[in-house]
Amino acid sequence: SGLIVSFGEMLIDFVPTVSGVSLAEAPGFVKAPGGAPANVAIAVTRLGGKSAFVGKLGDDEFGHMLAGILKQYGVKAEGINFDQGARTALAFVTLRADGEREFMFYRNPSADMLLKPEELNLELIRSAKVFHYGSISLIVEPCRSAHLKAMQVARDAGALLSYDPNLRLPLWPSAEDAREQIMSIWEKADLIKISDVELEFLTGSDKIDDASAMSLWHPNLKLLLVTLGEKGCRYYTKNFCGHVEAYHVNAVDTTGAGDSFVGALLCKIVDDHSLIEDESRLREALKFANACGAITTTKKGAIPALPTADEVLSLMKGSK
Ligand code: ATP
């Protein structure tokens, strides 16, 4: 199957050992490898697809640990660079009472922000059938230039561009800056996945409906997806739009559900770009992606919760 190259950050989340406490009250933390683009790359290989991760890690114990995890899951690692000076990024994560996650980042700067355009493995990027990325790599130079160059190289080589902005407001100088920069690469993407929260943020309206989603449409876009947690997802194409219900599961931790959803969908699309134009086949692919996201919420952490294709198919069968 075709190669999915995922570009961006990989880091370690430190998650309190007990839930529902503030960072100050937490008695201890456990390491949880993450970073949305890395999660997507692993989601793909778990499902039996082929992926590579492109990004920079610190030349430290954490950086090598993360590279080891990618390799352990079969993600191609030729696109990983190690920075001699800066540390691997860390984030401390708390779950607020309303269930939303709150992040405190240690990036001053971290290695991922220091990837330079000339460090990109262009041969690897040119071999991508799908090139996937977020927006965190747009926040500062030189990583921003590396991101823009990698996108261009992938596009010129014929890859489908897949964008999940993954808004992390605390990392941006201001909300206006976040919106402006996230939108600055909007029209380059073939496929965009946002969450309901991101839809509100990007449109500046508190309405989550078709009109507000369609206000984000651009002429070159092939597929826009809005994920709605336990309500499933909505899809928009040039010719049709609709809703695919979520699967009922006992959710314990939603971390990584969106990345799992994206990884699953990209696995379906990578060898069959035309699936996007056929509503019934697209709906099947989105059911698969919803099931994949649902399973990811049933276990703690992102990466350990990513399912295999068999697990996804068995949830889909059981729910019919
Ligand atoms: P993330 O938490 O990774 O940032 P996200 O906000 O991008 O996630 P979600 O909408 O939470 O994405 O989840 C993606 C998909 O996973 C949903 O469209 C849905 O199919 C599935 N999913 C998420 N949460 C649940 C849930 N509680 N029950 C069932 N399915 C879920």
13 catalytically annotated: no
Beta bridge pairs of residue 243: 234
DSSP designation for 35: -
Q: Please give all residues whose beta carbon lies within 6 A of any atom in ligand 1, as ranges.
A: 195, 227-230, 232-233, 246-247, 249, 251, 254-259, 261, 290, 293-294, 297
* pLDDT at residue 320, rounded to an integer: 57
Residues 6+ away with beta carbon under 8 Å from 128:
3, 4, 5, 52, 154, 157, 159
Q: Ligand 1: which residue has its CA nearest to atom 26?
A: 230
Place of tokens 């996108």: 151
Residues 6+ away with beta carbon under 8 Å from 10:
33, 34, 35, 37, 38, 53, 55, 57, 66, 70, 89, 112
- Tell me which of 156, 177, 259, 271 is the catalytic residue: 259
Are 92 and 29 contacting, i.e. CB atoms less than 8 angstroms apart? yes
- Backbone φ, ψ for residue 50 (5° rounding): -110, 130
Are 91 and 106 contacting, i.e. CB atoms less than 8 angstroms apart? yes
For 140-288, where are the E strands, in sequence order? 160-163, 191-195, 223-227, 233-236, 241-244
C-alpha span between 42 and 39 (Å, rounded)? 5
DSSP designation for 87: P
User: Is the bond leading into 142 cis (omega within 30 degrees of zero)?
Assistant: yes
Residue 188, token pair as written in the block: 């380059």
pLDDT per residue, tens digit, the chain (320 aa), is 999 999 999 999 999 988 888 888 889 999 999 999 999 999 999 999 999 999 999 999 999 999 999 999 999 999 999 999 999 999 999 877 666 778 899 888 999 999 999 999 999 999 999 999 999 999 999 999 999 999 999 999 999 999 999 999 999 999 999 999 999 999 999 999 999 999 999 999 888 899 999 999 999 999 999 999 999 999 999 999 999 999 999 998 899 999 999 999 999 999 999 999 999 999 999 999 999 999 999 998 999 999 999 999 999 998 75
CA–centroid distance, residue 45 to ligand 1 (Å):
20
CA–centroid distance, residue 174 to ligand 1 (Å):
26
C-alpha span between 7 and 53 (Å, rounded)? 6
Q: Where are the alpha helices (DSSP H) in 55-156?
A: 61-72, 122-126, 143-156
Q: Ligand 1: which residue has its CA nearest to atom 14?
A: 258
Are 194 and 226 contacting, i.e. CB atoms less than 8 angstroms apart? yes
* pLDDT at residue 51, rounded to an integer: 98
For 231-272, where are the E strands, in sequence order? 233-236, 241-244
CA–centroid distance, residue 273 to ligand 1 (Å):
24
Q: Please name the helix (run of DSSP H) or strand (run of DSSP E) that holds residue 183, with its range, or none.
A: helix 175-184
- Backbone φ, ψ for residue 131 (5° rounding): -120, 120
CA–centroid distance, residue 254 to ligand 1 (Å):
6
Q: Ligand 1: which residue has its CA nearest to atom 5?
A: 258
* pLDDT at residue 21, rounded to an integer: 84
C-alpha span between 92 and 106 (Å, rounded)? 8
Are 121 and 90 contacting, i.e. CB atoms less than 8 angstroms apart? no
